[in-house]
Amino acid sequence: MEDGTALLEGEGISKTFPLPAGGTQTVLENVSLQVRTGEVVALLGRSGSGKSTLLRILAGLIQPSEGAVRRNGEELKGPNPDVAMVFQSFALLPWLTVQGNTELGLIARGVERGEAEKQAVAALSMVGLEGFAGAYPKELSGGMRQRVGFARAFVIRPNVLMMDEPFSALDVLTAENLRGEIGDLWERGSFPAKSIVVVTHNIEEAVLLADRIIILGANPGIIRGQLSVDMPRPRDKNAPRFKALVDHVYTVMTNPRAVVGEAVPASKDSRFVMLPHARAGGISGLLEILDGRGGKEDLPALADDLRLEVDDLMPAVDAAGMLRFAKVERGDVSLTDIGREFANAQMHRSHHIFKEQLLQNIPLVGIVLAMLKNKKDGQISREFVLDILDEHYSDSEALRQFETLVDWARYAQLIDYDAAQERLYLPENRE
């Protein structure tokens, strides 16, 4: 199936959005990539890496702020007629039957209704939905609705099938089953598209499905590098090579400075390095688990044991690393000396250790403390801090950064916060 022809190219793609306080937020920065005939490409990244935005730009659904998208060598000026998309949220029209939803793309392209019906029946058969053509989406399970989403994409036989986290809204068993069926279609050579681009945050899913994994950094989204999955299909999750690749990607994903092809540039302003969205209690719990397991654990195994997805586990791992309680190397997370001391400390001592690590490693805490100490009454408003954060983050992200900052600083007994009054205090000035 593979012949290496470039079906789709992105060159120097950047995307910015305006911020409410003025200025812009860069979601993607100078991203260049190719999608070739006969390959599955996974776009793998954490929240904030712009992977879904990139997918929509490649599909022509939104325009880049800079750069260009080319299909078969010609610059794309609108929606890309060579692609079909499968969405996380199914995106079915509830007033249409399964048959009607499947035919939708063909009817929009002017295909005669009788022919559209015939092709839709064939696509539904391909995804195992024979006999459900007359059903409505509300009558179907989540897995069956996503099968309709695949049939709707399959029926137009696109050059490139784009999938935006297509299995993440499904339960574990349904996702595993559907993922396996899609993989089987591809491996048999009967897949109704020349190439696949899949957005995911699931590392095992990327290694299982992809020929090439493009790893994105976050804030802004950049290409950190790419990894070829040099394993024959079908892939065995228990094979040493599979586990080694998963471990390698975990290492890269948990270490923003790790090299994947080329180094990631340093943050433009170290005072505003994004805080992982992890609560102090979650960080403490992770360290205690690691201590109970001898101080070191394989990250994929830990995620599996805790039944957590990457985006659920990684914030606590990132936060532990940022505070120097832990380090990640070759897919393993291990306690540092101060991390082990923290995990075994009594309550008063643990708060003191957390405070020391916070002051040493999170410059934003020092900035807020300085503001409080320079105020005669030792207090500032929530909005004052949010106005500063708004210059660096979107509204929603600024609020999450504020909430994380407050949680960590309260645990360290450095700052107090009155949610009713929406004001930050030095603890000694609360009264």
> SS3 string of 13-62?
EEEEEECCCCCEEEEEEEEEEEEECCCEEEEEECCCCCHHHHHHHHCCCC
Domain boundaries, the chain: 6-82+158-254, 278-361, 362-431
Distance CA 251, CA 301 (A): 13
Select 278-361's CATH number: 3.40.50.300, 1.10.3720.10, 2.40.30.40, 1.10.10.10. 1.10.10.10
Q: From CA 88, how far away is CA 11, in angstroms rounded?
A: 26
Residue 303, SS3? Answer: helix
Q: Spell out the residues 6+ positions from residue 331 whose beta carbon is closer than 8 angstroms to its own.
A: 246, 247, 248, 250, 251, 298, 299, 300
Q: How many other CB atoms sit within 10 Å of the CB of residue 143?
A: 17
CA triple 273-259-212, angle to 5 deg: 110
201 Cβ neighbours under 8 A, 6+ residues apart: 44, 45, 46, 47, 165, 168, 309, 310, 311
Neighbours of 185 (CB within 10 A): 17
Collapsed DSSP state (helix, strand, coil) of residue 278: coil
Q: Angle, nearest 10°, between helix axes 363-374 and 382-389?
A: 140
pTM of the model: 0.67
Beta bridge partners of residue 161, listed in sequence order: 84, 196
What CATH number should be reported for the domain whose range is 6-82+158-254?
3.40.50.300
**H-run or E-run covering 6:** strand 6-18
How many other C-beta atoms lie within 10 A of the C-beta of residue 142? 14
Q: Assess contact for 276 and 407: CB atoms under 8 A.
A: no
Q: Are strands 379-381 and 24-36 parallel, antiparallel or unpaired?
A: unpaired
Is the distance from CB of 33 to CB of 195 less than 8 angstroms? no
Using alpha carbons only, give the angle 321, 50, 94 rounded to the nearest 5 degrees. 120
Please, what is the Cα angle at 408 between 405 and 411, to 5 degrees? 145
pLDDT of residue 264: 31
**Which residues sit opposite 10 in a β-bridge?**
33, 69
CA dihedral for 250, 255, 256, 262, sign (positive or negative): negative
Q: Can you tell me the distance from the alpha carbon of 286 to that of 47, in angstroms, rounded to the nearest whole number?
A: 20
Confirm if 41 and 210 have CB atoms less than 8 A apart: yes
The β-bridge relationship of strands 332-335 and 416-418 is: unpaired
Across the 431 residues of the chain, what is the mean pLDDT of every consecutive 10-residue run? 74 88 84 92 86 91 92 87 85 89 86 86 87 89 88 89 85 81 85 90 88 88 87 84 82 71 41 83 91 87 77 84 87 90 90 92 87 83 85 79 91 90 80 52
Token code pair at residue 376: 């005669």
Counting Cβ atoms within 10 Å, is residue 122 exposed (0-12), middle (13-18) or buried (19+)? middle
The residues facing 272 across adjacent strands are none
Given this model, what pLDDT does residue 363 score? 87
Whose structure tokens read 């986290």?
165
Q: Under a CB-based contact definition with an 8 Å cutoff, are residues 351 and 413 in contact? A: yes
3-class state of residue 123 by DSSP: helix
Which 3 state secondary structure label does DSSP give 386?
helix
385: which 2 tokens?
């801090």
Task: Decide if 366 contacts 418 (C-beta within 8 A).
Answer: no
